[in-house]
Amino acid sequence: MLVEGKDICFSYDGSSLALQDVEVNIEKGEFLAILGCNGSGKSTLVKHFNALLPLQQGKLRVAQIDLGNEENIWLLRRLCGMVFQNPDNQFVASTVEADIAFGLENYEVPRAEIPERVRAALALVEMSGYEKRAPDALSGGQKQRVALAGVLALDPEIIIFDEATAMLDPRGRQEVLAIMDKLHRAGKTILAITHYVEEAVAADKVILMHKGRILACGSPETILTDLDLMKEAELIPPLPVRLYYDLRQAGIYLENCPLTEEELVKELWQLRSKI
């Protein structure tokens, strides 16, 4: 197990709990979506994985490293890279290349290795050729891909996207989601925090959070098609799921509950052939 957490509780103010008895297990190579409405504790949970927040209560190990020990903080930061929501808040240097190099210098990567790491990371996010460009002048999707290159250059074990697509236009979102998928297929462990339920469909596993607790954990099929569970989490199920239940109410029964538009079309065609 790459991440093993048990009985994690966390409070920002010493009274109300932002995390309550959280148990989380993540396997190497898994694509995990963490889904939940505003304030449900998603960011608070993942900030524990790279020690951005201290472990107050419970047990947590990431790649066999104990989070309780403060000496391990820098090791964990490197092992667990994060891309955040706002593409504009993630740059410090005036060129793409210098920005990624800055991150590597901070982690004391030998200077001789830096140019090759920068080149390889930009190639991974399909931003080769943008080395000398100013981050400010890029589109939102491109900025997020450069921010991701900065993370990838450190060769992390886990890549966390904390609503990294939330501020992007549909095209930028697609660009970032495509890279996420590519990294997953290349064997990286991906944690995607989102409140776009549609983005959780492609995950191996979904963790559903609400009010600092984990409401449920399972396959997208089991979580996203459970109307009661989604209601409890204050989330709206994906459109094909809603349509499936609306049709049932109208006396029209699709064979399986579809999660994607493609699956919905398939189900509707099967229905047509029965009429």
* Contact status: 107 vs ligand ATP (CB under 6 A): no
Strand partners, 270: none
Torsion angles phi and psi, residue 261, rounded to 5 = -60, -40
Task: Give the 3-state secondary structure of residue 174.
Answer: helix
* Contact status: 165 vs ligand ATP (CB under 6 A): no
**Contact partner, 189, from Mg ion, ligand ATP, none, Cβ < 5-8 Å per class:** none
Distances (CA, A) of 199 to 101, 165, 215: 31, 10, 19
Q: Which two tokens stand for residue 153?
A: 């250059």
- Please identify, among the stretches 32-40, 134-142, 152-160, 236-244, the one whose residues bind ligand ATP according to the rule CB under 6 A: 32-40
Do the Cβ atoms of 138 and 172 come closer than 8 Å? no
Residue in the structure block whose two tokens are 């409405």: 37
Strand partners, 3: 26, 62
Torsion angles phi and psi, residue 46, rounded to 5 = -70, -25
Shorter beta-carbon distance to Mg ion: residue 43 or 50? 43
Residues in binding contact with ligand ATP, number by CB under 6 A: 11
Shorter beta-carbon distance to Mg ion: residue 38 or 64? 38
* Contact status: 15 vs ligand ATP (CB under 6 A): no
* Contact status: 68 vs ligand ATP (CB under 6 A): no
Residues numbered 30-59 forming contacts with Mg ion, rule: CB under 5 A: 43
CA distance linking residue 195 with residue 235, whole number of Å: 8
CB burial of residue 25 (10 Å; 0-12, 13-18, 19+): middle
Shorter beta-carbon distance to ligand ATP: residue 153 or 168? 168
Q: Which of 44, 50, 90, 142 binds ligand ATP (CB under 6 A)?
A: 44
* Contact status: 39 vs ligand ATP (CB under 6 A): yes
Binding residues for Mg ion, rule: CB under 5 A, are 43
Binding residues for ligand ATP, rule: CB under 6 A, are 12, 18, 36, 38-44, 195
